[in-house]
Homo-oligomer: A and B are copies of this chain.
């Protein structure tokens, strides 16, 4: 049994990690950390866990807690994981960081977009970007994984093969993304109240959203050159789900079948990527509660562009599910262990 601790267990991603890990037969949750709810019963913060989780929330005394577990998930605000990590901890436990602290290789870009000083840049090089379908081999056995963002996972997986194979001009990519409100977290803000989000649709963080450089870095690797993109997130009145619609100029004269062949080459054997039939579009309802990403695309002969479409559950494949997938890889378990939840509809 893998012994697990979670720091930041009372955020929505933390709660989803607990849900998934309770159903993971190779895992035992040892402790749940939450600064905001120290000494409070976890099931009093998340009543869905009543009678299922008896733990009381711990303070994040990571030095002590690290002795009790094999792996720690940090589902914490930006900067937190970087501020507590050190060589001693890493020598004892594996770390899967759900924040952005180790996602960007260029620390100056991190510091510019997140507007904070990175506290442990020495670990950035070692950290693997935990997008399992792309970096699978590098993740295996590693001790520090940077779990990708929700928007980034959906965006990159939707576009990656087309960039890698040179079908499109990567510098022309425009990503228009839509997210359910759980992505905004459980903090008490007027903007996230029911009456403010319900019956509303808006763009936010236009040109400034922090997932932009993360997508750019990963797609630049695929393109073999530095690219800049536009990434525009929108807030949707629903709990879960990310839908990505992206656009790019074609460099080659391709048919749907041509593009499909490229995607099959990259994803044909992937458990968690479902390449839809030609006339089906991804919809968030079909992946809710599961680790699947649904992907499709369309060739526009009129404007010579490719349209990419992807959907995933931001709390599963976009956060906790991918984190478990990374854990499975790091510990040598079958990658899909504990992750075969069937999407729940409606």
Contacts and interface: CB of A to CB of B under 8 A. Distances in A.
Contact of A285 (B176, B181, B200, B241): B200
B52 A238 contact: no
A19 B307 contact: no
A51 B274 contact: yes
B207 A198 contact: no
Contact of A193 (B19, B22, B188, B281): B188
Nearest to A190: B188
Nearest to A206: B298
A171 B203 CA distance: 24
Contact of A344 (B48, B188, B276): B48
Contacts of A228: 302-303
Interface string A21-61: 01100000000000000000000001111111000000000
Given A48-B285, A50-B274, A307-B232, A298 B207 contact: yes
Contact of A201 (B195, B243, B303): B243
A181 B195 contact: yes
A148 to B, nearest CB: 20
Nearest to A22: B342
Contact of A309 (B52, B203, B281, B282): B203
Contacts of A15: 345
A189 B194 CA distance: 10
A342 to B, nearest CB: 5
A19 B344 contact: yes
Contacts of A300: 207, 230
Interface string A278-296: 0011111111111000100
Interface string A87-118: 00000000000000000000000000000000
18 contacts: A12-B346, A18-B342, A19-B345, A23-B340, A49-B343, A50-B274, A180-B199, A181-B194, A192-B193, A195-B239, A198-B237, A198-B346, A199-B240, A201-B236, A202-B283, A207-B300, A236-B236, A237-B238
Q: Which 5 A-B pairs have the closest CB atoms?
A: A48-B343, A195-B346, A200-B285, A202-B283, A194-B197
